Chains A and B, each alone.
Chain A
Amino acid sequence: MSRLLPSFALATVGVLSLAACGGSATTTDSKSSHIKVTLTSSGDCTYSATSVPAGPITFDISNTGAPGLSEFEVMTGERIIGERENVAPGLPAATFTLTLDGGAYTLYCPGANTEKTTLTVTGKAAAKASGSAADLLAQGAAEYQTYVQAQVDGMVTAVGRLHEAVESGDLAAAQRAYGEARPFYEKIESDVEGFLLPGAAAGDNAANLDYLIDMRASNLDPAVGWTGFHAVERDLFEKKAITEQTKTYAHDLDTNVQKLATVAKTLTFKPEDLANGAAGLLEEVQKNKVTGEEEAFSHLDLVDLASNVEGAQQAFEALKPGLAKINPTLSTQIDQRFGRVQSLLDSLRSRTAIGGYVTYTATVRAAEADRISQAVQALQDPLSQIAEKVATA
């Protein structure tokens, strides 16, 4: 074997708590079968049994010295139904239990000399566990659809108010209304990205609602021109003046948001859409918000950033009951890291500032960007692993 083959898999990015490795995971009882899984220094995955009766089956995974192997999965077809990661050499054994009905399953050790082994389960499980991961994920996706709809409804109202405030010529009220409208879009922006008006050609920005609503100066398409939230933002916060042009911007924004509301009614989501959407929102945080590029005139970037994070968390929450069945450790880890990002953001709240967060000035950015960025990336890493777990569930 060439030493350059990527044939060893060291478990995934996340660094898990030992509690997860220590066997606290799921229910075991005296009737359950045990399968000892050993990752050996020669790169093998060995099993104490590959045929067991139906019912609860407990997997005890230990790594006796294979630095390249530290992950083990149980699959049915292409579905991952249980797994443990980060079983590095020297760490305590990891344990989890699945209740399996009769049939053939795949034991998967990514990177092992023999990666896949068939597990034969005989007979029928005494009691079928209620609520399979797949059912829970589908249910979550449906709930998330409701959440998106609520945000879109809120956006229509808030942008309507922004439009009114601009029309009235009240600069302070318009600035506040701008700050209040932004979160609705930012919580769900990954879901509406690329939404085209009916009959529009791909690549035509003039018919792309995300472009028309949320384009920034930095990615302006000269053929389409300047419109949307950020055109209004520039007038309200940089020029600090409401002109006839501003009123046109606000009017067009109102119209386009209403069109988006119509389009959004047709949206349906699969579990992996939620996973990818959540990861996409965090990418937005890293790419445009932490840098202060998004709200270049109002410096409300932290408002957007907090909304992106909230939107990602809502998508994750919808998947969590299903994900917790597949990989409770990953689910817990993501929970904790959302918590950390949230407490960081909480420290930046301001009651008096527009949008409820301190203005993201160059000074604030210099002091906070590094911390925020590292905390968000630490969340993004495990979050980006969810898509694989839920895509085929």
Chain B
Amino acid sequence: MSLSRRGFIASAGAGVALGAAVGAGAQAYADSSEPVDAVDLSTSYDFYTGSHQVGIATPPQRHCIFMTFDLVAGATSKDLQVLLATWSAAIAQLQAGRTVGQMEPISLSAVATDTGEAYGLSTAGLTVTVGLGPGVFDKRLGLAAHRPKLLAPLPALPSESLDPKLTGGDLSVQACADDPQVVYHAIRDLARLGRGVVEVGWTVMGFGRASAGAEQSTPRNLMGYKDGTRNVSTEAQRAEFVWVDDDAAWAAGGTYQVARKIQMDIEIWDSATMQTQHEVFGRTKVAGAPLTGTREFDTPDFHATAGGKPIIDPDSHVALASPENNRGLRILRRGYNFTDGLNEAGQLDAGLLFIAYMNTPEAFIRLQTKMGRSDKLNEYITHVGSGVFFVPPAPKPGHYLAEQLFG
């Protein structure tokens, strides 16, 4: 990655800068081997890769908006076809840092085709990732024969309390970048291009990545804990767990996307003792080390006991989610923190925008069935939003997303 002078922002996401500011006591925890978490605002990603869409394996950027869309009553497959072609062209422009159309038309009686708020800003590593929900392949559009074979609404899962207004969706758009204005512009203009064919469904505005990509330090969720230490991070792992290769020809190189809006009971968590918090995650807070180790990347020892009891509680988050305890199962997590201000009870309305990619939704269903039953974290979180989508592969130049559906 080349770093331009203009766009380079070096910052220590976690320990380094914080330790210096807080003083010697905190510094003792800082791990000097942790990678510096840098942001290069001049990064840009090509849309026409012809293989996977970007925004999946791409190292998570700092900001993200996830928006779902529903087809309007009476929308046809042609409407969807034109929408996907138009979106594809627009996303290619946006990721290249260009306007989607004329920001200031010559004719004063014309309406602008780009809203303009990202003009003059750097590309900021924008990625836009589009997914197709199960509804696209129901009877409405005549596309049922093309349905990715594992795409179906998620079953009811334990410990969820879904709000119907935050559930489902015929299309999903995940826009991420290191500049929130760039993210907003992308979402706004794509929503605008979709009007009349799709209506906006549920939306989560994420900030502060809550998952790490390659070369990135592990970020913290709003509970202050490192999240995603053992995330899928290599191409070999993605080949095994993420990319679809045994589905319809048009779907090869795609992946399934599960999105969940997870509410955190912030205030309750804040008054939980350190011991409770450690027990819930199975890790320490500052270092992020498993309770059986001292450093973040120490492998957890789920067999270790003290006083006859397991050191890492079998119902801790790390124990339930670990590949060791799930027959090697992994999913690529790409989460973001979110906040929507205050809820009706005057509490902080905040939590985790959980987005995960996998080559079978069954992977999420298995993990969440298990965690929903007994995760100690359930006392502090609620899954309120949910959607599942198939993310088609990226198109080649001169083509558009999911073009083969409309042959």
Contacts and interface: CB of A to CB of B under 8 A. Distances in A.
B89 A67 contact: yes
24 contacts: A3-B97, A3-B123, A4-B97, A9-B113, A11-B86, A13-B111, A13-B193, A13-B195, A15-B194, A15-B196, A18-B82, A65-B397, A67-B89, A68-B89, A78-B107, A89-B399, A110-B101, A110-B105, A111-B101, A333-B196, A340-B72, A340-B74, A378-B199, A388-B111
Contact of B101 (A3, A9, A19, A41): A9
Contacts of A67: 47, 88-90, 92-93
B403 interface: yes
Contact of A17 (B82, B92, B105, B111): B82
B341 interface: no
Q: Contact size class for B?
A: 35 or more
A78 B105 CA distance: 13
Interface in A47-88: 64-65, 67-68, 70, 78, 86, 88
Interface in A191-224: none
B200 A12 contact: no
Given A381-B192, A381-B196, A6 B72 contact: no
Contacts of A392: 107, 109
A15 B110 contact: no
Interface of A: 3-19, 21, 41, 64-65, 67-68, 70, 78, 86, 88-91, 110-111, 272, 333, 337, 340, 371, 374-375, 377-379, 381-382, 384-385, 387-388, 391-392
B179 to A, nearest CB: 13
Contacts of B104: 6
A90 B403 contact: yes
A3 B96 contact: yes
A7 B89 CA distance: 14
Nearest to A78: B107
Contacts of B97: 3-4
B109 A272 contact: yes
B72 A89 contact: no
A4 B98 CA distance: 5
A241 B75 CA distance: 49
A15 B83 contact: yes
A392 B399 CA distance: 36
B81 interface: yes
A388 B111 CA distance: 8
B110 A385 contact: yes
B100 interface: yes
Nearest to A385: B111
A41 B397 contact: yes
A88 B89 contact: yes
B195 A377 contact: yes
B274 interface: no
A13 B98 contact: no
Contacts of B103: 6
Contact of B99 (A6, A13, A86): A6
Nearest to B111: A384
B102 to A, nearest CB: 5
A110 B111 CA distance: 13
Interface string B231-257: 000000000000000000000000000
Nearest to B165: A370
A110 B114 CA distance: 13
Contacts of B96: 3
A64 B79 contact: no
* Chain B, interface SS category: loop
A89 B85 contact: yes
A352 to B, nearest CB: 27
Contacts of A337: 196
A16 B89 contact: no
A17 B79 contact: yes
B50 interface: no
Given A6-B119, A378-B72, A90 B192 contact: no
Contacts of A378: 72, 195-196, 199
A388 B102 contact: no
Contact of B100 (A10, A14, A89, A379): A10
A67 B87 CA distance: 10
Nearest to A5: B98
B153 interface: no
Contact of B88 (A89, A340, A384): A89
A91 to B, nearest CB: 5
Nearest to A380: B195
B168 to A, nearest CB: 15
B110 A88 contact: no
A73 to B, nearest CB: 11
Given A9-B102, A68-B98, A90 B85 contact: yes
Most chain-A CB neighbours within 10 Å: which of B44, B98, B102? Answer: B98
A68 B113 contact: no
Contacts of A78: 107
Given A65-B397, A88-B85, A91-B82, A13 B109 contact: no
Given A4-B119, A86-B86, A11 B101 contact: yes
A14 B105 CA distance: 16
Nearest to A276: B109
Given A13-B192, A89-B85, A90-B400, A6 B197 contact: no
B398 interface: yes
A17 B114 CA distance: 22
A10 B88 contact: no
Contact of B81 (A18, A41, A377, A382): A18
Given A4-B119, A10-B101, A90-B403, A388 B90 contact: no
Contacts of A68: 89, 92-93, 98, 100
A10 B196 contact: no
A371 B200 CA distance: 10
Contact of A382 (B76, B120, B196): B196
Given A6-B114, A381-B192, A391 B78 contact: no
- Most chain A CB inside 10 Å of its own CB: which residue of B97, B195, B397: B195
A329 to B, nearest CB: 11
B395 interface: yes
Nearest 6 A/B pairs, CB to CB: A65-B398, A378-B196, A88-B85, A6-B99, A67-B92, A388-B110
Contacts of A385: 110-111
Interface centre among B89, B103, B111, B399 (most CB of A within 10 A): B89
A12 B101 contact: yes
Contacts of A16: 82
Contacts of A111: 101-102
A374 B109 CA distance: 24
A18 B98 CA distance: 26
Contacts of A15: 79, 82-83, 86, 193-197
Given A111-B101, A340-B72, A382-B196, A91 B85 contact: yes
Contacts of B47: 67
A387 B93 CA distance: 27
Contacts of A14: 196
A3 to B, nearest CB: 5
Interface string B381-407: 000000000000001011110010000
A376 to B, nearest CB: 10
Contacts of A12: 101, 111, 113
Which among B83, B86, B93 has the highest number of chain A CB atoms within 10 Å? B86
